[in-house]
Amino acid sequence: TMGDIHIKLFSNECPKTVENFVVHSKNHYYDSLIFHRVIKSFMVQTGDPNGDGTGGESIWGGEFEDEFHPSLKHDKPFTVSMANAGPGTNGSQFFITTTPCPWLDNKHTVFGRVIKGMDVIQDIENVKIDKNDKPLMDVKIITIKIQQ
């Protein structure tokens, strides 16, 4: 494996988003999913069962609303945030930034920060990709373990 990534989740600030991530994780929804979009000096994205950025749904089925919090910004690398297709379209896909991305504030819900395994994110960020930003060799989530 490339290694472990440890993420602190912000359940007080965005309870619904964290619940979605935690329940999906406990149900093994994310197991074996690939990082389907990797853009150097920006972010790595995963959470799509289709593996191409077109799929995924919330634990409630379909999509759910954004949860923006004034203290949670894309102001540093290793920010964990929901991928979406516009306001209120959160499902299962998420990304981890590799640089500050202030233009994403109040467009994508920040729900966590990487606290250990930054080197793993950087290794993923540096894999060879195709013209659609998809890694040439699959980079997969093996499993996500939730600790209280």
Q: For 122-139, what is each residue's pLDDT tens digit? A: 999 999 999 999 999 999
**pLDDT on residue 48:** 98
Catalytic residue, chosen from 9, 10, 24, 45, is 45
Count Cβ atoms within 10 A of the Cβ of residue 62 and give its class: 0-12 exposed, 13-18 middle, 19 or more buried. Answer: exposed
**pLDDT on residue 74:** 98
Question: Is 113 one of the annotated active-site residues of the chain?
Answer: no
Q: For 67-101, what is each residue's pLDDT tens digit? A: 999 999 999 999 999 999 999 999 999 999 999 99
**5, 4, 21, 6: which is closest to 109 by C-alpha?**
21
Q: For 10-59, what is each residue's pLDDT tens digit? A: 999 999 999 999 999 999 999 999 999 999 999 999 999 999 999 999 99
**pLDDT on residue 93:** 98
Question: Is 24 one of the annotated active-site residues of the chain?
Answer: no
Residue 1 has pLDDT above 90, yes or no: no
**pLDDT on residue 39:** 98
Task: Identify whether the C-beta of residue 135 lies closer than 8 Å to the C-beta of residue 34.
Answer: yes
Per-residue confidence band for 7, with pLDDT thresholds at 50, 70 and 90: very high
Question: Is 35 one of the annotated active-site residues of the chain?
Answer: no
Catalytic residue, chosen from 6, 42, 69, 122, is 42
- How far apart are alpha carbons 131 and 120 in whole angstroms? 23
Question: Is 42 one of the annotated active-site residues of the chain?
Answer: yes
Residue 107 has pLDDT above 90, yes or no: yes
Question: Is 104 one of the annotated active-site residues of the chain?
Answer: yes
Task: Quickly count: other Cβ atoms within 10 Å of residue 26's Cβ.
Answer: 12
**pLDDT on residue 148:** 80
Question: Is 37 one of the annotated active-site residues of the chain?
Answer: yes
- How far apart are alpha carbons 92 and 24 in whole angstroms? 8
